[in-house]
Every structure is written in C-alpha cells, then in structure tokens.
Amino acid sequence: MLTSEPPKHLSTRSRRFWRDVLRDFDLEPSGLAILRVACEAMDRMDEARSLVTAEGLTVEGRLGPRAHPALSIERDARLAMLRALRALGLDKESQR
C-alpha cells in the first residue's frame, strides 16, 4: 500500500475517504491521481448540495422560477466521482 497523505485542499470527509481507500486497496501512482479526482468531485458535489439546501431547488429567472444552477453542478460532480471510482476498479480483485 502506498502511504500517501491526502491533498490538503480536500475536505475532512474526502480526506477520511482517501485514507479509508488507501487502507483497504493497493493503488499505483496513477490510481492516486484518479482517487484525487474522485475526492475533489465529492467535495464539489457536497458544496453544491449545501447551496441547494440553503437556497432551495429553484431560483428566480427572467421568465420565472428555474432549477437552481447548483443542481447541475451536483449532478455532474456525482457522475465524475462515480466514474473515477469505477476507473479505480475498487469492486475488482485490486483489494488486498
């Protein structure tokens, strides 16, 4: 297992996730880069979710209420996170 500390800019939740993954899986340096992408996307998703929670699902637009822009940010970040996790192959035989 590579003993790499999580990047400092990650949230507490993402740093914990980083450590959990490295405790349970052997990752090559390229895997660490993918894990970083997954953690950054997780943080972006959480930040967007917080905005929607605070401000509501809709915002006032020129033509009336419309979906909050953070909803698409949250969706895109979730997809990026899931793709990165799938690319890591955490569900395969890479577990030690």
Residue 95 lies in a domain: no
pLDDT digits (tens, 9 = 90+) for 20-61: 999 999 899 999 999 999 999 999 999 999 999 999 999 999
Residue 96 lies in a domain: no
Q: How far is CA 42 from CA 22, 38, 71, in A?
A: 17, 6, 14
pTM of the model: 0.86
The range of the structural domain enclosing residue 61 comes to 12-88
DSSP calls for 39-94: HHHHHHHHHHHHHHHHH-SEEEETTEEEE-HHHHHHHHHHHHHHHHHHHHTTTTTT
Domain count, the chain: 1
What letter does residue 10 receive in the DSSP assignment? S
Q: How many CA atoms lie within 13 A of 59 on its CB side?
A: 12
Return the pLDDT at 3: 54
Q: Which of 19, 17, 93 is nearest to 2 (CA)?
A: 19
